[in-house]
Amino acid sequence: MNNFTYCTPTRYLFGRNTESETGRLAKEYLGDPRKVLVVSGGSSAKKSGLLDCVTTSLRNAGIEIVGMEGIKPNPTDDRVYEGIALCRKHGVEAVIGVGGGSVIDTAKAIALGVPYDGDFWDFYAGKLTPEKALPIGVVLTIPAAGSEGSGNSVITKIDGLHKISLRSDFALRPKFAVMNPELTYTLPPYQTACGIADMMAHVMERYFTPTEHVEVTDGISEGLLRSIIAVAPCVFANPQDYDARANIMWAGTMAHNGICGCGRTEDWVSHFMEHELSAVYDVAHGAGLAVVFPAWLTYMANVAPARPARFAREVMGVPSTFDERTDALSGIERLKAFYRSIGLPVTLRELGVENADISLLVKKLHENKGEIIGGYHKLDAEATEEIYRLMV
């Protein structure tokens, strides 16, 4: 087991009607701000009345609101600059994201940029480590990215389509996260499925590790993955199944708050490869992951089958044949079958990407992430090209 630091200071308020507590939480945990920026996405939070409920709760707590709407999936740097300018103009003291990962990641980038004199992109470009940010609160509507409990934020720079993930153990963790599973009843099936693929990937990127003897972290990760796979069908059978929605929502947080990474080296190649896909082809991140992971696992079944075999046996329920490669390949078939059962693509073609420009993807991948990538198994450009080809 590796040495590690672990701290998840986010306060989760989980359950029915919790969104009406946003004002109290903002007062108590965002440093009693006079004015907050409320960042939100498309029209659904408005139509459902959620945005009204949250702003009323904030106003009742004596907090003034500056609004910023219309954050899109794969959020871009232009909206971050806009948000930073808004905060400075109005003297905003805290940022609240009402939405899913794109909204929350944008809220985090804005919160980080406001107290920094230079270009916020410096942090994403790796020139600086985040030390301080405006306090951040969250009302979650999409279980997927895990951003409500993580120190991560992914932003795409429009100039050059660089999609970069920033990770800061502490500065970017939300102070509170309001999580009402009922808010996810109206999520369309495809978006629900993408979220499930995303949270599974967050566990898997940590689970595929070269570190041995991390039994506790393995046990937690496997239990979490199994529970997601067990509950997922219920959400599609009945989108208003409160308990199923609640389990999926909580799983999304647990998948990415760090608990599945304690004591081990993580991988993250599949996320890196997907980020290039969604930056170039603007596909949904979760759907992209459902395409990348089986290909990555297929490559690994040949060169490093130990963990893929364990994944197959412990998570996908494959009976052991005592041959790692065989079991790993059976596990991949089961994983693909699961993705398909919830309506996800497992090839680039099914994802709607015909004739992908694999050379461009490989070039951008290694430009952004270095010549050799991967925590579980080191990969050069030749290897990642082969993995992209396995997705076709």
What is the C-alpha separation between 169 and 173, in angstroms, rounded?
Answer: 7
**Looking at 46, 157, 226, 363, which residue binds a copy of itself (CB under 8 A)?**
226
317 scored as a contact of a copy of itself (CB under 8 A): no
> Do the Cβ atoms of 104 and 139 come closer than 8 Å?
no
15 scored as a contact of a copy of itself (CB under 8 A): yes
131 scored as a contact of a copy of itself (CB under 8 A): no
Binding to a copy of itself in span 337-366, by CB under 8 A? none
Using CB under 8 A as the binding criterion, the count of chain residues that bind a copy of itself stands at 48
CA angle, corner 385, sides to 382 and 388, nearest 5?
A: 155
Shortest Å distance, C-beta 311 to a copy of itself: 14
220 scored as a contact of a copy of itself (CB under 8 A): yes
**Looking at 48, 165, 227, 265, which residue binds a copy of itself (CB under 8 A)?**
227
> Do the Cβ atoms of 281 and 364 come closer than 8 Å?
no
236 scored as a contact of a copy of itself (CB under 8 A): no
| Nearest by Cα to 365 from 272, 282, 266 | 272
**What one-letter code names the amino acid at 26?**
A
**Looking at 47, 59, 88, 213, which residue binds a copy of itself (CB under 8 A)?**
213
Backbone phi, psi, residue 153, to 5°: -150, 130
> Do the Cβ atoms of 130 and 240 come closer than 8 Å?
no
| Per-residue three-class SS string for 128-139 | CCCCCCCCEEEE
Shortest Å distance, C-beta 329 to a copy of itself: 25
27 scored as a contact of a copy of itself (CB under 8 A): no
What would the x/- binding string for a copy of itself be over residues 146 to 185, using CB under 8 A?
-----------------------------------x----
Residue 262 exposed, middle or buried by CB count within 10 Å (0-12, 13-18, 19+): middle
**Looking at 89, 117, 212, 319, which residue binds a copy of itself (CB under 8 A)?**
212
Shortest Å distance, C-beta 25 to a copy of itself: 10
Pairing between β-strand 162-167 and β-strand 152-157 as defined by DSSP bridges: antiparallel
Shortest Å distance, C-beta 207 to a copy of itself: 12
Task: Give, in order, the Cα–Cα distances in Å from 150 to each of 26, 85, 242, 384.
Answer: 18, 25, 24, 27
Binding to a copy of itself in span 248-267, by CB under 8 A? 250-251, 254, 259, 262-263
Backbone phi, psi, residue 55, to 5°: -70, -35
Q: How many CB atoms lie within 10 A of CB 62?
A: 11
**Looking at 30, 68, 224, 316, which residue binds a copy of itself (CB under 8 A)?**
224
Nearer to a copy of itself, 218 or 274 (CB): 218
What is the C-alpha separation between 252 and 145, in angstroms, rounded?
Answer: 7
Nearer to a copy of itself, 14 or 281 (CB): 14
Shortest Å distance, C-beta 234 to a copy of itself: 9
Tokens of 117: 């004199």
Shortest Å distance, C-beta 263 to a copy of itself: 7
Shortest Å distance, C-beta 358 to a copy of itself: 37
What is the C-alpha separation between 318 and 323, in angstroms, rounded?
Answer: 12
| Nearest by Cα to 292 from 354, 177, 384 | 384
| Nearest by Cα to 289 from 116, 92, 130, 146 | 146
**Looking at 105, 218, 266, 274, which residue binds a copy of itself (CB under 8 A)?**
218
**Looking at 145, 183, 214, 332, which residue binds a copy of itself (CB under 8 A)?**
214
Range in contact with a copy of itself (rule: CB under 8 A) among 4-12, 184-192, 272-280, 294-302? 4-12
223 scored as a contact of a copy of itself (CB under 8 A): yes
| Binding region for a copy of itself (CB under 8 A) | 1-16, 18, 181, 212-228, 230-231, 242-244, 246-247, 250-251, 254, 259, 262-263
